[in-house]
Structure 1
């Protein structure tokens, strides 16, 4: 198997994991994810079926095939979600050659060149951050997620504990694109005293770390 094929498989796994949340929470309006399918014949694409919550009848589901390649690079799993939201919103005209069916579902073959991606929302970024903290790749991470709270102004409060700092520390963050860097730095940031203040309005932690400008 080539390196490109391995990368395609890994991205299909990422997309399936990212879309799991939308089995119960709508991806957009009243539409829920009812299936995530690796394209057949090892094609570098992923297929996603959308429909009402709990719907299983193929005739009431709509499937979209989204290519994973973007020139010489691969799209990210977030790119796939953004395209999926875009193609299922508003009116899109498909050539007859790009409309088919699979397993009883209408299947639309998406051409990303003719689709303007929907923006990734603050809740999307927050969900990604929380998933990474709740399911870390390390067996014993330097900091653990004990809880969270969505705050006004697009902020997210993380309740963490750490090997370096006793008790529960709250950290206010602004979810955004540099999640990998934040995840790597978070254990040490919790111990930076100049960022720390007393959590006078929050009984759920011993102190608060302001990471909103990090």
Structure 2
């Protein structure tokens, strides 16, 4: 993996890790994170999918594409949280060349330099303190590494993963209501099984997809 691709992958994984709690805690109002999509580099970007807590890919979701770097500054998960809060608390409008469609969702390309980022709340800072004490950052990622996720349906969650031994992102569709402990234990070996892999031409964020919903 090239140095730039490796740095992009690490940044996407870090952003995913730091935004995970917003699948249960709203970003603002009734807006939750319903997906984090790892954009293949180039460009160096990430797509954050937002919507109501019970929304799935079939509707009511919006994906925001945000560059990972602007003006030589790295964009963090905290920056992304502030950007999304600002955009969804205002009447911000977009020109037609910044709005498209992606996997049945609206896709909005965001220029972070044009958005006044909302400041972290006291609860944000409290959560950062507590999370850091419980799960201190070590600089080492598990293998496989979570690069993103997307709620496809009420009981179908797509995980975007990469491994040290394989180039590219693999998507694994899992069933949250299933045998979660057993699945997590077997996942590292399951995603290496070539016979399980297929392609999803509608999803540009992965090279292959594994259906593990019946596992």
- Could you tell me the TM-score, scaled by structure 1's length? 0.60
C-alpha separation between the residues in 2 aligned to 1:84 and 1:108? 11
Is 1:30 aligned to residue 30 of structure 2? yes
Query: Who is 2:105 aligned against?
Result: 105
The secondary structure found in structure 1 opposite 2:50 is: strand
Query: Who is 1:81 aligned against?
Result: 81
Alpha-carbon RMSD across the aligned residues, in angstroms, is 1.6
C-alpha separation between the residues in 2 aligned to 1:137 and 1:18? 11
Please list every run of 5 or more consecutive structure 1 residues that lacks an aligned counterpart in the other structure: 139-214
Deviation at 1:102? 0.4
For the pair shown, which has the larger CA radius of gyration, 1 or 2?
1
Query: Who is 1:8 aligned against?
Result: 8
Shift in alpha-carbon separation, 1:99–1:137, aligned structure 2, 3 A: closer
C-alpha separation between the residues in 1 aligned to 2:85 and 2:41? 25
Please list every run of 5 or more consecutive structure 2 residues that lacks an aligned counterpart in the other structure: 139-215
Deviation at 1:41? 4.5
**Could you give the per-residue CA deviations for residues 85-117 of structure 1, whole angstroms, max 9, x where no partner exists?**
112221111111100010000010001122111
Aligned length: 138
The secondary structure found in structure 2 opposite 1:30 is: coil
Consecutive aligned runs of 4 or more in structure 1 exceeding 6 Å deviation: none
C-alpha separation between the residues in 2 aligned to 1:124 and 1:5? 30
Q: Which has the higher contact order (CA 8 A, sep 6+)?
A: 2
- Could you tell me the TM-score, scaled by structure 2's length? 0.60
